[in-house]
Amino acid sequence: MDGTELVAWRGFLKAHARLLKEIDSVLEADHRLPLSSFGVLHELAETPGRRMRMRDLAESVALSRSGLSRLVDRLEREGLIEREPCADDARGAYAVLTRRGLRRLEQARPAHLEAVRKRFLGHFSRDELKALAGYWDRLLASK
């Protein structure tokens, strides 16, 4: 990598890691809800029926299947989600958001939004955010 490429790459990695750590810290302190848990609850809340196959959920929150399974175990113990067997696949299961999980998510959403605005969105103009969104789309469209 040349100097510009290296600075861009390392900057992205450092910014991403710092943002995740800071937002996680806010959610933990204010709601005892790690960012990874918030992400799972959010994905389920945005899905029709508030349920999703475990393998699809793992992909949408960028966790391994085993990592998601451990997280779902914890969320299930807290009563925030439930597992349901998949009728057409004996090995498959659904994660289903409970009413308690939805309440917990709704309580944490304002703190999450404030943290994202303060630590990320607030550093860019509307035009810069549109450009960033285009860059992320370009990256995600390529494989």
pLDDT digits (tens, 9 = 90+) for 42-59: 999 999 999 999 999 999
| 142 or 103: which leads in pLDDT | 103
Q: What is the pLDDT of residues 56-98, one digit of tens each?
A: 999 999 888 889 999 999 999 999 999 998 877 767 889 999 9
Q: At 100, which CATH number?
A: 1.10.10.10
pLDDT digits (tens, 9 = 90+) for 24-38: 999 999 999 999 999
State residue 65's pLDDT score.
Answer: 86
pLDDT of residue 89: 73
**In Å, what is the CA distance from 39 to each residue of 2, 77, 88, 125?**
35, 17, 27, 26
> Which pTM was predicted?
0.89
pLDDT-derived band of residue 125, with 50, 70 and 90 as boundaries? very high
| Helices 65-77, 35-45: inter-axial angle, 10-degree rounding | 90
Residue 142 confidence (pLDDT): 80
**Pick from 31, 32, 103, 93: nearest CA to 68:** 93
What total number of domains does the chain contain?
1
Give residue 32's domain range.
3-141
